[in-house]
Amino acid sequence: MKLSLLQLSPTGSLGGNLEKAVAACRMAKSDGADIALLPEMYSMGYDLYGRAPSDWLAEAIPADSPYVRTLAALAAELDMAVGVTLLEAYDPAPRNTLLLFDRHGTPVLCYAKVHTCAFGPEKYLTPGDAFPVVSLDTKEGPVMVGAMICYDREFPESARILMLGGAEVILVPNACPMEQNRLAQLRGRAYENMTAIATCNYPAGTPDCNGHSTVFDGVAYFRGYAGSRDTCVLEAGGEEGVYTAEIDLAMLRAYRATENQANTYRRPEMYGPLLEREVREPFIRKK
């Protein structure tokens, strides 16, 4: 299965972003992609900082807006799944949303960012309340797909819940600097869950972003390899572009059926403290 990460800079307008997204999807199709993924909240270019909340919140669009409908129709035209990202109009406040349309243009996944960045402008958003996993029809057959968005990545529980839900591939729209520690996080999430993780970031030149979109296939050990193998099958540079990587699903599934990470030897009865709500020092922050 091929994944294309559309590492695009925003244009400053919804129409301009849509035009760039359409052109990039066509490039992804020419690369043979089965899925094309946009960076976080591409409908408005994740342009939150230094602006009055009332200004950027007004840029929220419905899930059935022309921006979304155009990309859904494009998915059907190109016979390719498209991960559409947007600031979604929602009650009582907008959401940071990924809508995944399959190669027939059918909506199969709606994911709203669970871990909204409550320490910044995202405190005005409605957080999501679930980590759904869906079966995505591809030319290679059904693939179990889930999503997390940017800051979700900082919490190991996000990827773990998706793995427990059956995810083989996790899509991660992103809008922040992907430096060595965040890249290590993604490598670790893929390794510990035996799950492929594809992250699409904004390129360098977009405020607080630096490119380095990645695909980790999650296969650390396999017959025929001496020791461990590099699970990173793609790391883009900082430049704008469409970056395509291939995930060997047969290898991933064989690995998941034989190795010992993920859910093989977990002991959930020992994890009770993970559900405690109390926050203690030094982690208490003023709201």
Q: What is the mean pLDDT of residues 69-81?
A: 98
Residue at 287 is within a domain: no
Q: How many CA atoms lie within 13 Å of 181's alpha carbon, on the beta-carbon side?
A: 3
Q: Is residue 246 within 8 Å of 221, Cβ to Cβ?
A: no
Q: How many domains does the chain have?
A: 1
Return d(Cα 32, Cα 130) in angstroms, integer: 31
Query: How confident is the model over 10-68, as pLDDT tens digits?
Result: 999 999 999 999 999 999 999 999 999 999 999 999 999 999 999 999 999 999 999 99
Q: In this prediction, what percent of the chain has a pLDDT beyond 70?
A: 100
Residue at 111 is within a domain: yes
Q: What pLDDT was estimated at residue 166?
A: 97
pLDDT band at 286 (very low <50, low <70, confident <90, very high): confident
Q: What is the mean pLDDT of residues 104-129?
A: 97
Query: How confident is the model over 145-187, as pLDDT tens digits?
Result: 999 999 999 999 999 999 999 999 999 999 999 999 999 999 9
Q: What is the mean pLDDT of residues 259-285?
A: 93
Residue at 131 is within a domain: yes
Locus of tokens 């980590």: 131
Tell me, what CATH number does 160's domain have? 3.60.110.10
52-61, 152-161, 199-208, 226-235, range with the lowest pLDDT: 226-235
Residue at 177 is within a domain: yes
Q: Is 127 exposed, middle or buried (0-12, 13-18, 19+ CB in 10 A)?
A: middle
Q: Calculate Rg over the CA atoms of the chain.
A: 18
Residue at 282 is within a domain: no
Residues of the chain by 3-state class (helix, strand, coil), percent to 5 = 30, 25, 45
Residue at 69 is within a domain: yes
Residue 230 in this model has a pLDDT that exceeds 80: yes
Return d(Cα 29, Cα 6) in angstroms, integer: 12
Q: In the sheet where 133-138 sits, what is the strand order?
A: 133-138, 141-147, 169-173, 196-200, 214-216, 232-235
Q: What pLDDT was estimated at residue 227?
A: 83
* Helical segments of the chain, H only: 14-30, 53-57, 66-78, 156-164, 180-193, 249-258
Residue at 180 is within a domain: yes
152 phi, psi to nearest 5 deg = -55, -30
Return d(Cα 17, Cα 67) in angstroms, integer: 9
Strand stretches in the chain, DSSP E: 2-7, 35-37, 81-88, 95-101, 107-112, 133-138, 141-147, 169-173, 196-200, 214-216, 232-235, 241-246
Q: Which two tokens stand for residue 53?
A: 């909340």
**Which domain range does residue 93 map to?**
2-275
CA 21 to chain centre: 16
Residue at 219 is within a domain: yes
Omega cis (within 30) before 53: no
Return d(Cα 194, Cα 119) in angstroms, integer: 31
